[in-house]
Amino acid sequence: MLDSLILVWICIFLFFVFIRIQRPKNFPPGPRPLPIFGNLFQLDIVNPLKDLDKVHLYIGGRPAVVLKGLKATFSGRPQNLLINNVTDKLYVTGIILADYGPSWKEHRRFALMTLRNFGLGKQSMEKRILGEIEHIVAHLEKSGGSYINPKTLFHDAASNIIYLVLFGIRYNYEDQTLKALVRCFTEITKLANGPWGTIYDTLPLVRALPLPFKKAIVNSEKLKKMAADMINKHKMQRVSGEPRDLVDCYLDQLVDDQVCFDEEQLVGMVIDLHGAGTDTTSNTLLTAFLYLMTHPDIQEKCQQEIDEVLKGKAQASFEDRHNMPYTQAVIHESQRIADTVPLSVFHCTTRDTQLMGYSIPKGTLIIPNLSSILSEEGQWKFPHEFNPANFLNEQGQFEKPEAFLPFSAGPRMCLGEGLARMELFLILVTLLRRFQFVWPEDAGEPDFTPVYGITVTPKPYRMGVRLRHGEI
Ligand code: HEM
C-alpha cells in the first residue's frame, strides 16, 4: 500500500516537473534543460560568464533569458533566489532587490533626490569624498616606500564614503565595526553568487538543509541589527526638519508618508546603499591601480596631465575632469576592463512581452550580460586590451561610446552612478598626483585573470607606493 502511494506521488511530482520544463511558446532558442536541474550541469558554476552566450537557460525549473546588446529594459526583479531570501526574511524590499512597484519607485526616487540635494555634482558631496581621501593619503604616506595590499584600504574608504552620505560618520580603518560590516557583505555576495548560491537557486528542495548558504542568512541578520542600532542612535541626535544626511531626510519623510516609508524599509535602504556602493567602487579602483602599475607609461601620462591642470591648486575638484581628457579616458577604460558587475542585477519581466520576435512570458528571469557589451567587437576600437584610446577621438578629446554600460541601462540602472563617478575621479586623481605606484619587482608576471562574483575583483596583489616630489 505504502509502495503504491509513494509511486503515485513520484508520478505526480514528475508530471509537474515535466509540465514546468516545457518551453513557453515562441521562447528564444537555447540548450535543452533537464527536469529539476534546468541547465545547471551545462554551466560552469564557478564562472558562468563564459557559458552565457546562450540565449535562454533554465535556472532549475525557471526559464531565463540572457540579454546581450543594449536593450536591457525589463524592470522587475526575480524573487525567491538566495539573495532575495537572505533579505526578504527580514524585510520585504529596500531598493536593489525590490520588485517593480510603488515601494521601489518611491524609494528609488527618494534616494536619487536626496543624493542630489546633498550635493552630488556640487560641493557638499565632493567635500565628504575629499575628506575621506585625506585619510587614504595619510595611510599611504605612512606606508610610503613599502608595499601594501590595497584591497582593505579601498573597501574601507568606499564604505566610509557611503557612511558619510548616510549618517555623516566615518570609521577609522582599524575599527572592528567597519571590518565586521565589510566582512558580512563580502561573505553574502560570495555565497549568493558562488556554487552554493547556484545550488540554492536551482534546487528549492535543499534549501532547508544546514548547508553553507545558511551563513548568508546569519550575516544578513547581523547587518540588519547593526543598521537598526545605528539608526536608533542617530535618531537621538537629530533635529526634525534640519536634515544632516540621508537617514535624517528619510526620518523627516516618514512623518508625511506612512504608505511606502517605514523604519524597516530604512534599514533595508541603508544596507542596500552600503552594499551596492562599497564592493563596486573598491573593485573598480583595484582594477584601475593594477593596470596603472603594470602600464607605467599610461600612469605617467595621467600624472603629467594632472600636474598641469592642478598647478597651484590645493585639491582636485570634479569640475577639473573637463580639462583632463586623457585621465578621464583612463578611468573609463579601467571601468570597462574591470567589468565590475558583469551580469548586472538580474531583472524579471513584469508582463508578457516580445523581444527580437520571440515571446517572453511575464515572470521570466532576465540576465543582462553587461560583460559582453563592454567587450563587444564592433563597439570598441580595442575590445580585448587595456587601451585609453577606446575613449579618445582623433583629436585626443574624451568621447564615451554608447556601449559603455557598466552601470546598466533603463529604469533600474545604477542610482549611485553620479556618486561612483565622482569617487573614482577624485580618488584616482588625488592619489596619482601624490604618489607613484609600482609593480613589485619580486611579484613576477601580473595575473590579470579576474575572480568572478556578483562583483568581479582582480586577484589579490601588492602595490608599491612611492612619494612623488615637487609637483604640488
Ligand atoms: C563603479 C561603481 C558602481 C557600478 C559599476 C555599479 C553598477 C550597478 C549595476 C550594474 C546595477 C544594476 C542595474 C540594473 O539592475 O540594471 C546597479 C544597481 C544599483 N546601484 Fe550601483 N554601481 C556602482 C556604484 C554604486 C554606488 C556608489 C551606489 C550607492 C549610492 C550604488 C547603488 C545602486 C543601487 C541602489 C542599485 C539598484 C537600483 C534599482 O534597483 O533601482 N551603486 N549598480
Distance 83 CA to ligand 1 centre (A): 15
Q: Using the Cα atoms of residue 176, residue 182, residue 187 and residue 192 in order, give the sign of their dihedral.
A: positive
- The pLDDT value recorded for residue 357 is 76
More confident residue, 213 or 25: 213
Residue pair 63/27 in contact by the 8 Å Cβ criterion: yes
Distance between CA atoms of residues 472 and 458, nearest Å: 31
Say yes or no to pLDDT of 232 above 90: yes
Say yes or no to pLDDT of 24 above 50: yes
Say yes or no to pLDDT of 5 above 90: no
The greatest distance separating any two alpha carbons of the chain, rounded to the nearest whole angstrom, comes to 91
pLDDT confidence band for 206 (50 / 70 / 90): confident
Q: Whose CA is nearest to atom 1 of ligand 1?
A: 281
Is the ipTM higher than 0.95? The answer is: yes
Distance between CA atoms of residues 130 and 417, nearest Å: 18
Say yes or no to pLDDT of 162 above 60: yes
Which helix or strand (DSSP H or E) is residue 230 part of?
A: helix 214-236
pLDDT tens track for 325-339:
999 999 999 999 999
Say yes or no to pLDDT of 380 above 80: yes
Q: What angle do CA 112, 118, 123 make, to 5 degrees?
A: 125
Say yes or no to pLDDT of 196 above 50: yes
CA neighbor of 106 nearest in space, from 234, 271, 268? 268
Q: What are the structural domains of the chain? A: 81-342+382-467 (1.10.630.10)
pLDDT confidence band for 99 (50 / 70 / 90): confident
The reply, when asked if residue 414 is annotated as ligand binding, is yes
Say yes or no to pLDDT of 9 above 70: no
More confident residue, 36 or 365: 365
Q: Whose CA is nearest to atom 40 of ligand 1?
A: 96
More confident residue, 185 or 39: 185
- The pLDDT value recorded for residue 52 is 52
Atom of ligand 1 at shortest distance to CA of 97? 40
Share of the chain above pLDDT 70, in %: 79
Instruction: Name every protein residue with a CB atom under 6 angstroms from any ligand 1 atom.
Output: 95-96, 108, 272-273, 276-277, 280-281, 284, 340-341, 344-345, 347, 368, 406-408, 412-416, 419-420
Mutational test site, ligand 1, from 66, 366, 407, max ligand atoms within 8 Å of CB:
407
**pTM (whole model) above 0.90:** no
pLDDT confidence band for 472 (50 / 70 / 90): very low
Q: Whose CA is nearest to atom 22 of ligand 1?
A: 414
CA neighbor of 115 nearest in space, from 393, 336, 419, 431? 419
- The pLDDT value recorded for residue 89 is 46
Distance 276 CA to ligand 1 centre (A): 6
Which helix or strand (DSSP H or E) is residue 457 part of?
A: strand 457-458
Q: How many residues does the chain have?
A: 472
Arithmetic mean of pLDDT over the chain: 83
Say yes or no to pLDDT of 44 above 70: no
**Range in 20-34, 98-112, 192-206, 409-423 the model is least confident about:** 20-34
Say yes or no to pLDDT of 13 above 90: no
Distance between CA atoms of residues 369 and 64, nearest Å: 12
Average pLDDT of the residues in 287-292: 98
Q: What angle do CA 147, 298, 335 make, to 5 degrees?
A: 85
Residue pair 96/75 in contact by the 8 Å Cβ criterion: no
- The pLDDT value recorded for residue 59 is 55
- The pLDDT value recorded for residue 95 is 87
- The pLDDT value recorded for residue 108 is 94
Atom of ligand 1 at shortest distance to CA of 424? 1
pLDDT confidence band for 264 (50 / 70 / 90): confident
Say yes or no to pLDDT of 34 above 90: no
Q: For residue 468, give the amino acid letter.
A: R
- The pLDDT value recorded for residue 70 is 38
Residue pair 274/158 in contact by the 8 Å Cβ criterion: no
Share of the chain above pLDDT 90, in %: 47
More confident residue, 380 or 346: 380
- 215-237 burial: b if 16+ Cβ within 10 Å, else e: bbbebbeebbebbbebbeebeee
Say yes or no to pLDDT of 408 above 60: yes
Alpha helices in 31-90, H assignment, sequence order:
82-88
Non-local (6+) Cβ contacts of 416 within 8 A are: 115, 273, 276, 277, 280
Distance 250 CA to ligand 1 centre (A): 20
Distance between CA atoms of residues 63 and 65, nearest Å: 7
